[in-house]
Amino acid sequence: MKINGYAVEKVGGELNPYGYDSSALGDQDVLIEITHCGICHSDIHLIDDDWKISNYPFIPGHEIVGNVKEVGKHCNHLSVGQRVGVGWQCGSCFHCQWCMKGEENCCLHYQPTCVGRNGGFAQAIVVDGRFAFPIPEELESAQTAPLLCGGATVYSPLRRYRVNVSSRVGVIGIGGLGHMAIQFAKAMGAHVTAFSSSPSKESEAMGLGADEFVTEIDKFPQESLDFIISTSSAKLDWVQWMNCLQPKGVFCFVGAAPGNLDFGLQILIAKQRSVVGSLIGDRHTIVEMLKVAAEKNVRAKIEEFPLEDVNTALDRVRKNQVRYRAVLKI
């Protein structure tokens, strides 16, 4: 089957119309007719080959919502016409220790949706049906696409580090991921501080559930937060935030900012603090996250663009102008 979409042909290039022949449907596969695809900042990193893993030409896009068009003969849990979502990961080995534990996102052989293959800025996609998740009825498709990668990525560590009603959480960077992190942390009952470099985002961040909005980190009290999640795509002075963590506090990187960490180890040792990273979410957590979003009214705030305007949308993401997630309508 011929699939049409928009592909990037060279590092940092514009996207142009592009067609490819999809592989035949494997036994576990599903063919999805895409209706919406969010634009995650990771798509920008891939277009720019920031991680040295991009193979051109390729169609970016990994926050997919669409309808099942065809199922492989062993893909028994999905049916034609069903609405499903696909995120950053669309395959894993299913037999390593991580897959056996239900932590497929740690699988050595995991397959990203738009690395080494074509993603969701297109009419359709074929993926392993085990990575296509039914969307709860209450969730509207356009607002749900960003949950598939961005939502899962922030929900997963908030859950893993047991954020609850007595937690004081800091969210750095109020973009696609950050605005969903505020909502999920609030839904878990936490006191939420939004840290932003954009003063104009204050009233919307408070509307999303932030208790405080901070643009000047140097004036923020030290040793006052339990958990900080950084979603910033740009390098910041991380040490200032580490000092805001209480003893035993956790600083979690999900934003793939460039550069290295550089701080004296006493920042960690003397206060028993931890610095961790987190990658998307496993399948179980994605299903749970969708349920929580439906029940607790967590919704992405989106700007919708027709697929043909993908370059305009990407440009707005690059300039930090989108409030708060661009979604392509296919």
Q: Does 115 bind ligand NAP (CB under 6 A)?
A: no
64 binds ligand NAP per the rule CB under 6 A:
no
Nearer to ligand NAP, 64 or 78 (CB): 64
From CA 282, how far away is CA 295, in angstroms rounded?
A: 20
Q: Which residue is nearest to ligand NAP (CB)?
A: 175
Is residue 45 involved in binding ligand NAP (CB under 6 A)?
yes
Can residue 175 be called a binding residue for ligand NAP (CB under 6 A)? yes
Interface with ligand NAP includes 173 (CB under 6 A)? yes
Q: Does 285 bind ligand NAP (CB under 6 A)?
A: no
Is the CB of 71 or the CB of 154 nearer to Zn ion?
Answer: 154
SS3 305: strand
Q: Which is nearer to Zn ion, 72 or 119 (CB)?
A: 119
Nearer to ligand NAP, 170 or 176 (CB): 176
User: Does position 234 bind ligand NAP by CB under 6 A?
Assistant: yes
> Sign of torsion, CA 117 120 126 127?
positive
The C-alpha atoms of residue 88 and residue 100 are separated, in whole angstroms, by 20
Interface residues with Zn ion (CB under 5 A) are 40, 42, 88, 149
Residue 10's Cα: distance from chain center in Å?
A: 24
Residue 71 CA to residue 77 CA, distance in Å, equals 9
In this structure, are residues 58 and 18 in contact, taking their beta carbons and an 8 Å threshold?
no
The answer to the question of residue 87 lying near ligand NAP (CB under 6 A) is no
**DSSP string for residues in 169-222:** EEEE--SHHHHHHHHHHHHTT-EEEEE-S-GGGHHHHHHHT-SEEES-GGGSPS
d(CA 143, CA 46): 23
| Residue whose entry in the numeric block shows the structure tokens 């963590």 | 245
Query: Binding segment for ligand NAP among 20-28, 170-178, 268-276, 301-309 (CB under 6 A)?
Result: 170-178
Footprint of ligand NAP (CB under 6 A)? 40-42, 45, 149-150, 153, 173-178, 196-198, 201, 231-234, 254-256, 278-280, 317, 320
